[in-house]
Structure formats: C-alpha cells, structure tokens
Structure 1
Amino acid sequence: MSAGAGLTPAAVLAEGGAASLVRQSALLAGRNLRVALSVPTIVGMVVSPLLFYFGFLAVFRKMFQAQGIDFGQYLPPAIVVMWATFTAVSAAVLLSRDRRGGMLARLRSMPVHGGAVVTARLASDGVRALISICAVIAAAHLTGFRFATGPLGAAAFVLLALAFLLVLSLGTGAAGLAATQPEAIGATLHMPAMPLLMLSTAFAPAASFPFWLRPVVELSPVSAIVDALRAVADGTGLAGALLRAGVWLVVLLLIFSRAATRAYRRAT
C-alpha cells in the first residue's frame, strides 16, 4: 500500500516534504475543477468558442477566399488563442474569489507546499482550456481544417496552445491575487485582452494593417503564438515560427512567474 493510501484530504495536505507536492497538487486541482466545472459551465466552454468560430467563418470566409486564403485553415488557431486568453482571464477571477473567500488564507495556515497551490491552479486551468481546444479542433476538422504534419503536429499544436495558456495564467493569476473584487478584475483584464487579439495576425494577415501598425502586429506575442500554431498545422516555416514563439513564451514566463510568486506571498 502506498504511503498516501487511506488518507483524508486534510491529512494529505498536512503531509510535508517535496514528495507530497504531487499529491497535494492533485488534491487541490480536483477541488479547483469541482468549483469551476458544472454541466452548464462545460457546455459553455464548448458552445461559446464554437459560436465564435462558426460566426467568423460565415462572415469572413468568402472575403478571405477572394484573397487566396483558406479561412477554414487560417481561423482555428486564432479561436484557440482567443479562448486560451479568455480562460486565463477567468483564472484570475477564480483566484480572486478564493482570496476573498478565505481559501488562500486557510491554505497558507496549513503545512501545504507553496508550489502545490500554483501547480494545482495551472493544472485545472489547463484542463478547462483543453476542453475548449479539443472542441474547436473537432469542429474545424468538419469544415476543412487539417494537420499536414499528422498526429505529431496535432499533439504539438495542443501542447503549444496549452503552454501559452499556462504562461498567460501566471500573469492573470498575479492580477487575480492582487484583486479584492473578482468581477472587477475580470472586466479589467478583458480590456487589454481584446486589443491584443485584434492587433495581431489572429484574424488578419499583418499586410492587411496600415503600415504604421504593422510593426506592432508583427512584434505581438499573440501573433507569434498564432503564427506558430499555423506553422505546426501546415508544416511550413516551422523552425522560425517555433523559435519566435519559444522566445516569447520564455520572456513571458520569466516576467509572469516572478509576478505570480510575489503576488502569492502578499496575498492573505
């Protein structure tokens, strides 16, 4: 029998040492998912991104086809990145609720590994995002989206999207930990999220922007991730696109992880 067999949740959380990190993280991630997921929520996580996908497809497909762009292949990475962004914003709201409700204070008063709280939050965010990502990929496949790189490319596509979500969640999580009003932090984070999505190659090529905006669009981290997802799916320009996305992920990880660590230490 394993060392953790038969232990109650409280006993697992009270265990000390690095060996308990995985068990504590799993327990807290399960709790996070029970709080965040319900049947209506899961339906919304599937239906909402699909409404965006089919809405954009219906309105813009002919226009892009006239420009020689297969919009059915071009659009899915944009919807995936958009929904990863929205999931990261919702993570901030959930963290803010935990802080206001006293959950974080309770955990800090117990012998819980500090990394377990962060790891559990990221794991639950990843599961929530994965539901939406798989729904978008399945729907997109029905409308012509394909992975020219095969199953390995599909796996890389999902992993890259999740990596972006997890890094972004560190940043939004820092904001959520600093906020005292969950509803306010959600609205506040949506304000920069939408311009970042619009001023990128998510929904239009960089060449379609005014010349004075193109440098902003081309340097955008959102553009880097979206372009890398398209390259992974198409198998074209893969090395350069992945390098650019990787650099942005590392830069954002360094910034956001530091911010999240400082915010967690200050949260009560």
Structure 2
Amino acid sequence: MSALAYDGTAMLARQLRRVRNNPGLAILTQTMPITMLLFFGYVFGSALAMPGKEYRAFLVPGLLVATAANGIMTGMFQAAQDSHRGVMDRFRSLPMSRAAVPLGQAAADLVVTAAGTVPLLLVGLAVGWRIEGSALRATGAVGLLLLFRFATTWVGIFLGLLSRSEEAAGQLGSATFMLPLLSNAYIPTGNLPHWLRVIAEWNPISAVTTALRDLFGNAPVPQGAAWPVAHPVAGALAWSVAIIAVFLPMAVRRYAHGHR
C-alpha cells in the first residue's frame, strides 16, 4: 500500500471517529433536508402551478443536490476547526503524506453523506416521489450526486484552511444556503427574468439537479436552456471534475504551507 493510501486511510478513520463522537452536526445536516422536503413539498406545492405530489417528485432531486452542495459548509467548518485548534500543525510535524489529511476528511464526508442520503430517499418515496428510470440510470444518478458532494467538499476544505478564524468560517459557510436558491433545485427556471435564468442555469447545482431528474425519470430535460442544463449529465460531470481539478490541489497546497 502506498504512503498516501495508508496515511489517507488513517485520516479517514480519524474523521469517522470524529463524526461518531460528535454526531450533532451530522444529524442536523441530514435532518434539515427532510424538514425542507416536508415544508416545501406541502406548502410551496400548493402555491405553484404543479400539483402537490408532482412538485414533491420535482423537489426531491433538488434537495438531494442542495444537500450535496452543503459539502462546502461542512468541509469549511471542519477544516477551519482543525486548522485553528492546532490539530493540523501536529499532523504537519508527522512523517506522512501532505495530501492524506484533506483527503481523509473528504473521503469521510463522502461516507457520511452516502449513509445520510438513504433517509431522505425513503421520506421522498413516502411523500410520492418515485424512481421512474432504470436501476442502472438511478445508480448513475446516485454516483453523480456523490461525485458532486466530493467536489464541493474540496471547495469547503480550501476555504476553511484559508479562513482567519472558526467564526469567520462558520459565517461564510452559512451563507452557502443561498446557492440552491439561485438554481432550479426548488423551482423551474423557465419563467425567471432572462438575466436571472442565465445565472441559475450556469449554477453547477442546476446541471446536477437536472441530471438527477433525468436519470431518475422525474422530469424531461428543458429545451432552450444553457448548455450545462440542456446536456445535464455531461454538464454535471464537467462541473464536478473541474471543481475537483481546481480546488483539490489548492487545498493540499494550502494545508502543506499552513498559515504562511
């Protein structure tokens, strides 16, 4: 086993123990989407043109992706906490791969997210959402969702390492709740003003959400949309790979250099 794989596995185990010993954040981040599904599904569903059950089927993929986008918030908070409490300074003093610590955090977040997705899917099924596509396409949708979560976690890790304090990281992380609001996660974008529709359709969340709706068979791909939404699977893959390609090396470099 290579040094990176060995050290990364050790850091993965450390992060999972951290979640087990402090489950409050994990519980909050996993129960919030369920609360939003019940609230939005039964309140907004009666206010939109879509019937309630149809809107809930439309909403579930959007909430899955909005939860994946929260990787920015959780990654930022955990990285900032370790950085400003001296944990990462101690890790840097050890003879281990510089990529192992952030990689372990990202991998542990992925494991926790995969487990936490199951309750949201079950509640979605209970309120009327269904997988209309094939099992293979549904599996692809879940894989795409986890890839996007992995990508957003690297954004959060980099920003957390860049932050000046835990409090600043928490405040900035909380602001990320705006990102799904500027997308098609909760509402169709067809009737938005042109300038706002352009912003929403080039939001990575919109591409991933549309890809999940297409793969699950919940809604057709909208016509006349921007390229990432008109070609949602390719767009979601392109966004996720691009985010990882940019932020993974930046996060590793920032960790290696510390606060200098």
Correspondence for 1:159 = 143
Scaled by the length of structure 2, the TM-score of the pair is: 0.87
Task: Point out the more displaced range, 228-237 or 211-220.
Answer: 228-237
**Structure 2 counterparts to residues 197-216 of structure 1, below 5 A:** 197-216=180-199
Match for residue 8 of structure 2? 25
Give the number of equivalent residue pairs: 250
Report whether the alignment pairs 1:218 with 2:209: no
Q: What do the CA deviations read for 1:180-210 (whole angstroms, capped 9, x no partner)?
A: 311221211332x233211111111111312
What does residue 78 of structure 2 align with?
94
Normalising to structure 1: TM-score of the pair?
A: 0.84
Q: Aligned pair 1:232/2:223, yes or no?
A: no
Q: Is the 8 A contact 1:45 1:131 kept in 2?
A: no
Partner of 2:64: 80
Structure 2, unpaired ranges of 5+: 222-228
Q: Deviations over 1:87-144 (max 9, x none)?
A: 4312211111111222211111111112221221111111222233221111101122
Amino acid at match of 2:87: M
Q: CA RMSD in A?
A: 2.3
Correspondence 1:224-263 to 2 at 5 A: 224-234=207-217, 236-237=220-221, 240-263=231-254
Q: Is 2:190–2:197's contact at 8 Å kept on the other side of the alignment?
A: yes
Q: 1:67 to 1:41 in 2, by over 3 A?
A: closer
How does 1:43-82 map onto structure 2 within 5 Å? 43-64=27-48, 66=50, 70-82=54-66
How far apart in 1 are the matches of 2:63 and 2:111?
A: 17
- Partner Cα distance (1:155, 1:130) in 2: 12
**Structure 1 residues 43, 252: CA separation in 2 closer, same or farther (over 3 Å shift)?**
closer
Number of the residue aligned with 1:36: 19
Structure number with greater Rg is: 1
Aligned-partner Cα distance in 2 for 1:74–1:142? 14
Change (3 A) 1:66 1:253: closer
For 2:4, the aligned partner's letter is L
Q: Is the 8 A contact 2:71 2:156 kept in 1?
A: no
| In 2, Cα distance between equivalents of 1:189 and 1:31 | 23
The aligned amino acid for 1:256 is F
Amino acid at match of 1:128: V
C-alpha spacing 1:83/1:23, structure 2 compared with 1 (3 Å): same
| Structure 1 runs of 4+ with >6 Å offset | none
Q: Name the stretch that deviates more: 88-97 or 238-247.
A: 238-247
Q: How does 1:133-148 map to 2 (within 5 A)?
A: 133-148=117-132
Find the counterpart in structure 1 of residue 255 from structure 2: 264
**Structure 2 counterparts to residues 85-124 of structure 1, below 5 A:** 85-124=69-108
Structure 1 Cα separation of the partners of residues 27 and 128 of structure 2: 24
Residue identity opposite 1:225 in structure 2:
V
Contact 1:99 1:180 in 2 (8 A): no
**Structure 1 unpaired stretches of 5+:** 1-17
Aligned residues with identical type, % of pairs = 24
* Per-residue deviation, 1:83: 1.6
Select which of 190, 195, 215 maps to 2:178. 195
Deviation at 1:39, TM superposition (A): 4.7
- 2:138 is matched by which residue type in structure 1? A
